Amino acid sequence: MIDAQPNATGQTDLDLLVEASIAAGREALKFFRNDVKIWWKNEGSSPVTAADHAANDILHAMLRGARPSYGWLSEETDDDAVRLGQARVFIVDPIDGTRAFMNGLDTWCVSAAVTENGKPVAGVLYAPSLDELYVADADGRVEKNGVALNIPPMSGPVRVSAADDMIKRFTQPFGNIERISKIPSLAYRLAMVADGRLDATIVKPNAHDWDLAAADLILTNAGGGVCDMHGEPLVYNSPTARHGILFAARRDLLGPMLARVQPAPPEIP
């Protein structure tokens, strides 16, 4: 469980995540809607900016500086298998929604979590351009800007944000759906389910731990959930940080979604 009391540094893990995420987000905001330098990784399919690197440097310095015994997994740091032997691990994405950031959209955020034995126990999402701070801990706390979150009862059509090929996976019509334009930041999209602006999303394969860990805890505590094609919760800090097709929704929608979706085709070796 997450520390209930401050340790020798005077901060709980959640306090530390909040402080570091805000500092990193404010640094990234200095680059926002400016002529930021961009590189391309993963054979040119994934952008990274100078803001990603600057925010990552702050997160690493503040988090590992305060908790050197914790493991580290970040989108913008070369992976180190040492993390696999550490019970608690920082899992961070300095800017989740880099494409939104590059295009001047507000829906990007810093995502930072602590996992313990594969389970998120503290999570923070900070969207500096929107001045929104989401926090959650292992004791069930979940807040947005200091106000407790609890997904409200659904009224009207099911608001879904997902790519066309994911929607087409349903073998039966999924009721009355209102399609919401895809949100580039996966973490922020899950936060929108947690605060009731969305009801569900379907996640394409190859989302990573850093996209999910903090938002998973936030959504779960708010009355939703994230699961794989078999309805199983996610496990973090495994040798591969990638996941297959995922479902995230209000808790009362997860079962009906899984019942209507066709299995993923087998991967070709």
- pLDDT tens for residues 64-73? 999 999 999 9
- pLDDT score, position 259: 87
- The mean pLDDT value for 213-228 works out to 97
The mean pLDDT value for 123-147 works out to: 98
CA distance 248 to 186: 10
Domain contains 41: yes
Q: Taking the model in full, what pTM does it have?
A: 0.92
Instruction: Determine the Cα–Cα distance for residues 169 and 179; give it in Å rounded to an integer.
Output: 15
- For residue 146, the 8-state DSSP code is T
At 43, the pLDDT band (50, 70, 90 cuts) reads low
Written as six digits, the tokens of 181 are 């334009």
User: Domain check: are 63 and 185 in the same one?
Assistant: no
Residue 102 sits in the same domain as residue 126: yes
Q: Which long-range contacts (CB under 8 A, 24 or more apart) does 218-221 make?
A: 218/123, 218/125, 218/134, 218/135, 218/136, 218/142, 218/149, 218/190, 218/191, 218/194, 219/190, 219/191, 219/193, 219/194, 219/248, 220/136, 221/136, 221/137, 221/140, 221/141, 221/142, 221/149, 221/194
Among 96, 124, 148, where does a domain finish? 148
Residue 18 tokens read as: 């909040």
Judgement on whether residues 51 and 138 belong to the same structural domain of the protein? yes
What pLDDT is recorded for position 264? 57
Q: 269 vs 19, which has greater pLDDT?
A: 19
Three-state secondary structure call for residue 215: helix
- Mark which of 125, 148, 171 sits at the end of a domain: 148
Q: Are residues 105 and 190 in the same domain?
A: no
Q: In this structure, is residue 86 part of a structural domain?
A: yes
State CA 188 to chain mean position distance: 7
Q: Which of 85-99, 150-164, 240-254 has the lowest mean pLDDT?
A: 150-164
**266 found inside a domain:** no
CATH number, position 118: 3.30.540.10
* 142 and 207 assigned to the same domain: no
Tell me, yes or no, whether 25 and 108 share the same domain: yes
Q: How many structural domains are present in the chain? A: 2
Same domain, 133 and 238: no
Domain span at residue 46? 13-148
